[in-house]
Chain A
Amino acid sequence: EAQVTQNPRYLITVTGKKLTVTCSQNMNHEYMSWYRQDPGLGLRQIYYSMNVEVTDKGDVPEGYKVSRKEKRNFPLILESPSPNQTSLYFCASSTKGQQETQYFGPGTRLLVL
């Protein structure tokens, strides 16, 4: 089954404790991205990657890191989480092209205390 998977689905952590949210897709997509969803703000893009070793900032990259060492994986790293990073995070993938459909993972709900 074609899908985007994220782990963990739920995470509670404390300020400053490094964490990684994994994202993997099995559709051989070139383009992957991370979003955060906050009430009243919709989805905002954090980082995106157009292919292996090619990443770029989205609209809200501060406090986040990403890497793209393999085509299928695109982990999101919070090196020193803060409470304002409490949010719902989505990973998405697509073939390359602005008109292409994005396929979303099920989301990771993060609470930073």
Chain B
Amino acid sequence: AQSVTQPDIHITVSEGASLELRCNYSYGATPYLFWYVQSPGQGLQLLLKYFSGDTLVQGIKGFEAEFKRSQSSFNLRKPSVHWSDAAEYFCAITSSGGSYIPTFGRGTSLIVHP
């Protein structure tokens, strides 16, 4: 069975600081990997995704993520955080083996201090 772990429930950063949100997955083959963001009171919006090719993926709002097969990780990064980035971030996977059921991590809540 596939699983996703986001080890950090909350992350607090100062505005302008760099950010890295961790995501580890468990799956036999290479999964399709996603990062979604949920702003307060909103639904989820895709930030970026990876399913093949270059392991460094660029997304919207200045975010990027790097797929590391050896570490089963897909960490999300941003070089300089803005106050508007405060939100809940979810890592998710679907399987290349045929399941349409995506697995989401429990989410990481990002708090941005001015």
Interface string of B59-79 (1 = CB under 8 A from A): 000000000000000000000
Chain A residue nearest in CB terms to B106: A42
Within 8 A of A (CB), among B40-97: 41-46, 49, 51, 90, 92, 94-96
Q: Does A98 contact B (CB under 8 A)?
A: yes
Say which residue of B6, B44, B105 sits within 8 Å of A104 (CB atoms): B44
Task: Kindly list chain B residues whose C-beta atoms are within 8 Å of the C-beta of A31.
Answer: 100
- CB-based contact B101/A42 at 8 Å: no
Instruction: Tell me whether A98 and B99 are in contact in the complex, defined as CB-CB below 8 angstroms, given that A42-B90, A42-B105 are known contacts.
Output: yes
Q: Does A102 contact B (CB under 8 A)?
A: yes
- CB-based contact A58/B106 at 8 Å: no
- CB-based contact A42/B94 at 8 Å: no
Tell me, in angstroms, the Cα distance from A99 to B49 when the chains sit together: 8
Tell me, in angstroms, the Cα distance from A57 to B77 when the chains sit together: 34
Interface string of A71-109 (1 = CB under 8 A from B): 000000000000000000010100000110110111100
What are 13 sample pairs from A and B whose C-beta atoms fall under 8 A apart? A41-B106, A42-B104, A43-B92, A98-B32, A98-B100, A101-B34, A101-B49, A102-B36, A102-B46, A104-B36, A104-B45, A106-B41, A106-B42
Besides A43-B92, A98-B95, A105-B43, 6 new A-B residue pairs in contact (Cβ under 8 A), listed by A number: A45-B102, A59-B101, A98-B94, A99-B32, A99-B49, A106-B42
Q: Write the residues of chain B forming the contact surface with A, with a CB cutoff of 8 angstroms.
A: 6, 9, 32, 34, 36, 41-46, 49, 51, 90, 92, 94-96, 98-102, 104-107
